[in-house]
Amino acid sequence: MSVIVRRGHCTRLLQRVVGRHYTTPTHNATGATPPKKPAPPKPSPVPRSPPSTPPQTRHEAHEGTSAINVPYNPPGGGPAGAAAGFTFTNSPVLDAILTTAIGLGAGKFIYFLFVGGIAYVAWYKKNVLDKIEDAFAAGYDPALELAKMHTINKSPTDDSSDDPLFDEDVPWTENLRRKEQDVIDHIVHGEEAGHYFMLLGPKGSGKGTMMFDSMAACNADGVSMCDAHPDLEVFRLRLGKALNFEFNEDTQTGLFQRRDPREGGPALDIERAMNKLEKVALRAAQKRGKPFVLIINNVHFFQNNDEGRNMLLQLQQKAEAWAASGILTMVFSSDDFWPFHVLRKTASRMHVLSIYDLDPHESMHASTRMRRHAARPPVEPEELKEALSLVSKSKDMMGMAKHLLEVEKAWLLSQIGLIPDCDDDVMDEQKWSSCSWLLLREFVKIRLEQEAEAGDSTEDLPLPSIPYWRCRQIMTRADFMEGTSLNVIAIDIQHNVRPDSNLILHAAREVVEEEGFEELLEGVRDRVDEIESLHRTRELTFKDLGKGDMVRLAVDKRGEELLETRDS
């Protein structure tokens, strides 16, 4: 059977013939059937074995001279044979409906997931700002809560015990209000906008206690405090605790987030926390009408290296910007002098408050009230004057004073003790120690002069003070001032140098007044000079000298005259 497909027509033909091949005659350009050629003689038939499998049904169609020879696949029947794949039903219509429904459902799920992610991120950012604002709300503050005295150490039942460690501990600030307390109250309560502040004073002078008293007076409303630390990772966590900020570590956007932002280091995290705090301070300043206060306590705990100085500069830049806008006041406190030098270089809105030890009159007043509050028996005024700078609430005041003085003297000697006939390995340490004792000896001399001028009334003598430039001359080394300032001396903003406390002055006086101290100090200095002289000595070696040869070295004192004669 043959089908002729004429030009411009399409015909579909279903053939089901097994074991036969069909050919379709082609057409010329005019569409006429070409004349038939005589058939060649048929060869004798060769017997064939029947095929084992019937050949696949083929569909052949011709259009012009093109031939199409593909397996037959009626429309709507789906893929045929092994390539049919998975189908839901046998109906193509139902399969199309189900596929469309599944596609629409997946699209809606992705859409709602995207919209939900945007809503969660917006809520999370708002919640972060709300949590930081709650950290400045009145009520609970971690630093203030720790400063409160939840328990009090009671004295032992045996009053005859002389162990000073079992004395009752009472807050001394309840018995005295210092003159600096009013200024600190204005700062902490947010009444001093437009500046940021630094509290500078020796250890134990009452900087932290006065700030805690101010925070307690306002119930920590608008105030937050954190302590500095040498490790910036630890400081990052402390700052986050003070600000109630988790540094985005509690977010659930990990599926849509980039790499962990903590890979940038603690400085980057602290900058992110400062940026969040700035947003909160901007929106809270309009409602409160006064700035927030952020206290960074003990900034001298930062390391005095590039990393620590860079952190101080980073905090200072924020403090300058916030002080200019009046939205937040930063307060730094330090026992050491080097942070002041670092901050002073770029400071334009910084005010510095020097906190000193109590003067003798304040000490007498506070000591009397402390003993009355601790239920201690009254003491004679002379005994109280002698021990007022050491201890005031122990049962045996003079015994406790001597105990503290021995401890302070032992610590001082362990830090800067002199070593006679020292080896060259400890030469640098002994140079620093000897120069420190030169300064302490000068303090003792000034105190002796004060006592000689005052006569019998020596209870109102202030701590000896020496200008910073004069201390450099006394120590003969400018770089030793920084090392000596660590709990030995205190420097104020007028660059006046004083002993760190009366206790240090008493301990240094005992050492200086010991027999043989001057000889020991001069011996150590001479030994340092000898070692340095040996280091500066150069050895001259003469070669090609035989036995009996001599080298003559002459020194001519007429060198200048010879030079003048030669030049003329």
Give the mean pLDDT of the chain.
75
Residue 481 lies in a domain: yes
What band does 432 get if pLDDT is binned at 50, 70 and 90? confident
Contacts of 251 (CB under 8 A, 6+ apart): 124, 257
* Number of domains the chain is built from: 2
Phi-psi region of 136 (alpha: psi -120 to 50; beta: other; left: phi over 0): alpha
Q: Looking at per-residue confidence, does 326 or 490 come out higher?
A: 326
**At residue 319, does pLDDT exceed 80?**
yes
> Residue 164 has what pLDDT?
43
pLDDT at 73 (0 to 100): 52
- Position 150 scores a pLDDT of 56
Q: Supply 516's token pair.
A: 């043989």
Burial 298-318 (b: 16+ CB within 10 A, else e): bbbbbebeeebbebbeebbeb
The model carries a pTM of: 0.65
In sequence order, which residues have a C-beta less than 8 Å from that of residue 120 and are 6 or more positions away? 252, 253
Is 321 found in the same domain as 183?
yes
When mean pLDDT is compared across 18-27, 340-349, 369-378, 428-437, the lowest value belongs to 18-27
CB 135 within 8 A of CB 200: no
What mean pLDDT is predicted for residues 378-407?
A: 61
Question: Does any domain span residue 181?
Answer: yes
Above 80 in pLDDT, residue 471? Answer: yes
**415 or 553: which leads in pLDDT:** 415
Q: Which residue has the higher pLDDT, 105 or 4?
A: 105
In whole angstroms, what is the distance from residue 226 CA to residue 230 CA? 13
**444 belongs to a structural domain:** yes
For the segment 494-520, the average pLDDT, to the nearest whole number, is 88
Do 290 and 403 have their domain in common? no
155-164, 201-210, 257-266, 494-503: segment of lowest average pLDDT = 155-164
Q: Is residue 497 part of a domain?
A: yes
| CATH value at residue 341 | 3.40.50.300
The first and second tokens of residue 52, run together, are: 């084992």
The 10s digit of each residue's pLDDT in 285-305 is: 888 889 999 999 999 999 989
Return the pLDDT at 350.
92
Same structural domain for residues 229 and 327? yes
310 shares a domain with 432: no
pLDDT category at 549 given cuts 50, 70, 90 is confident
State the residue range of the domain holding 529. 396-536
Torsion angles phi and psi, residue 315, rounded to 5: -70, -40
Residue 45 belongs to a domain: no
Ramachandran angles phi, psi of 538, nearest 5°: -115, 140
User: In the structure, what pLDDT confidence band is assigned to residue 139 with cuts at 50, 70 and 90?
Assistant: confident
Say yes or no to pLDDT of 327 above 60: yes
Q: Is the pLDDT of residue 278 over 80?
A: yes
Q: Determine, yes or no, domain membership for 550.
A: no
Asked whether 327 and 278 are in contact (CB, 8 A), the reply is yes
Is residue 257 scored above 60 in pLDDT? no
pLDDT bin (cut points 50, 70, 90) of residue 198 is very high
